[in-house]
Amino acid sequence: MTQTPKFALIKQHIIDNIQAAKWVENQRVPSENELAEQFSVSRMTARRALSELTEAGILTRSQGLGTFVASLKSQSSLLEIKNIADEVQARNGVYSCSVLSLESISAVAPIAIALGVEINSQVYRSVLVHNENEQPLQVEERFVNPALAIHYLQQDFNHITPHEYLSQVAPLTEARHTVEAIMPSNEVCQWLSLYNEEPCLQVIRRTWSSEGIVSFARLISPGSKYRLGGHLTFKRH
Amino acid sequence: MTQTPKFALIKQHIIDNIQAAKWVENQRVPSENELAEQFSVSRMTARRALSELTEAGILTRSQGLGTFVASLKSQSSLLEIKNIADEVQARNGVYSCSVLSLESISAVAPIAIALGVEINSQVYRSVLVHNENEQPLQVEERFVNPALAIHYLQQDFNHITPHEYLSQVAPLTEARHTVEAIMPSNEVCQWLSLYNEEPCLQVIRRTWSSEGIVSFARLISPGSKYRLGGHLTFKRH
DNA sequence: CAAGCTTACTTGTATATACAAGATATCTGT
DNA sequence: ACAGATATCTTGTATATACAAGTAAGCTTG
Chain segment A93-104, per-residue pLDDT in tens: 899 999 999 999
Same domain, A124 and A214: yes
CATH number at residue B145: 3.40.1410.10
Same domain, B194 and B158: yes
In a domain? residue A51: yes
Point out the domain boundary residue: A43, A69, A95: A69
In a domain? residue B173: yes
CATH number at residue A53: 1.10.10.10
Closest CA to B200 of A79, A231, A198: A198
Contact (CB<8Å) B200/A181? yes
Distance A64 CA to D6 C1' (A): 17
Give mean pLDDT, residues A227-237.
53
In a domain? residue B230: no
Determine the pLDDT at residue B174: 75
Show the low-confidence residues of chain B (pLDDT under 70): 1-3, 71-81, 210, 229-237
A62 touches strand D (CB under 7 A): yes
Q: What is the DSSP string of B93-139?
A: PPEEEEEEEEEEEEPPHHHHHHHT--TT-EEEEEEEEEEETTEEEEE
Same domain, A107 and A187: yes
What confidence category does residue A226 fall into, taking pLDDT thresholds of 50, 70 and 90?
Answer: confident
In a domain? residue A182: yes
Mean pLDDT of chain A: 86
Same domain, A27 and A137: no
pLDDT at A219 > cutoff 80? yes
A3 touches strand C (CB under 7 A): no
Same domain, B172 and B127: yes
In a domain? residue B143: yes
- Higher pLDDT, residue A223 or B209: A223
Give the integer Cα–Cα distance in Å for B50 and B61.
9
In a domain? residue B195: yes
A42 touches strand C (CB under 7 A): yes
A113 inside 8 A of chain B by CB = no
Same domain, B108 and B50: no
- A175 class by beta-carbon count within 10 Å (0-12 exposed, 13-18 middle, 19+ buried): buried
Tens of pLDDT along A144-193? 999 989 899 999 998 888 888 887 787 777 778 888 899 999 999 999 99
Same domain, B25 and B108: no
Same domain, A42 and A95: no
Same domain, B146 and B96: yes
In a domain? residue B166: yes
Determine the pLDDT at residue A7: 93
A182 inside 8 A of chain B by CB = yes
Same domain, A157 and A183: yes
Determine the pLDDT at residue B164: 82
Number of domains in chain A: 2
A234 inside 8 A of chain B by CB = yes
- Identify whether the C-beta of residue B143 lies closer than 8 Å to the C-beta of residue B111: yes
For an interface test with A, give the residue of B44, B232, B236 to mutate (most A CBs within 10 A). B232
In a domain? residue B172: yes
Closest CA to B138 of B14, B224, B47: B224
Same domain, A113 and A197: yes
- Identify whether the C-beta of residue A64 lies closer than 8 Å to the C-beta of residue A29: no
Point out the domain boundary residue: A69, A96, A118: A69
Point out the domain boundary residue: A20, A42, A69: A69
Determine the pLDDT at residue B21: 74
- Identify whether the C-beta of residue B84 lies closer than 8 Å to the C-beta of residue B97: no
Determine the pLDDT at residue A237: 27
B45 touches strand C (CB under 7 A): no
Domain residues for the domain of B56 are 6-69
